[in-house]
Amino acid sequence: MKRLAIYCGSATPADPRFIDNARDVGRTLAERGIGVVYGGGRLGLMGAIADSALAAGGAVIGVIPKALVDAEVAHRGLTELHVVETMHERKQAFTDLSDGFVTLPGGTGTMDELWEALSWAQIGYHAKPVGLLNVAGFYDGLLSFVATMAEAGFLRPQHRDILIASDSLDDLLGKMAAHVPLRTITQMKAAEL
């Protein structure tokens, strides 16, 4: 994996563990020679990841919609900054520029990015690993919900492990490196669906 798209919040939560973790992720990826592709912001977890990766000598590519550039939240010190018109173009660029996806804590925008990466993997629009770093149990409820979707039959057995989750970055990166693409919906016959 040469580049990972990092999905995370632009907010700075009161709990310092989230910012500390974001800094650790940015630094660790840079130290491993893995470039960061992210939302292009300078605030919150986004800014912490970018700044720590850059400080450790890493490459950081930001992808930001023009409306957010105009709101003056774009990070101006990145390796590259791609300005796009829409959020859809942003998510397509994340997919095109990266070898996989890692989701850290965040809000609705982060969830939108995660769910699209998962659904695109399930359909077959990409075959890249989709990871979730469960910092301080932040995603315990979401992981429980994914299990509920599988138990109810809304997540096919062959897609049960489409989301790669861990509370350890080292473990998560190891699992993602070992990722074998799953059989996608477009590869299945109607009887299997």
User: 103-159, pLDDT tens digit by residue?
Assistant: 999 999 999 999 999 999 998 899 999 999 999 999 999 999 999 999 999 988 888
For residue 62, count other CB atoms closer than 10 A to its CB. 26
Among the listed residues 163, 165, 155, 164, the one whose alpha carbon sits nearest the alpha carbon of residue 185: 155
**CB-based contact 14:57 (threshold 8 Å):** no
Residue 50 to residues 17, 38, 44, 184: CA-CA distances in angstroms?
17, 8, 10, 33
> Rounded mean pLDDT of 86-103?
97
CATH 3.40.50.300 fits 3-192, yes or no: no
Say if residue 173's pLDDT is above 90: yes
What confidence score (pLDDT) does residue 115 get? 97
**CB-based contact 18:24 (threshold 8 Å):** no
Cα angle value 75/5/25 (rounded, 5°)? 75
Question: Which residue is listed with tokens 């632009």?
Answer: 10
Say if residue 193's pLDDT is above 70: no
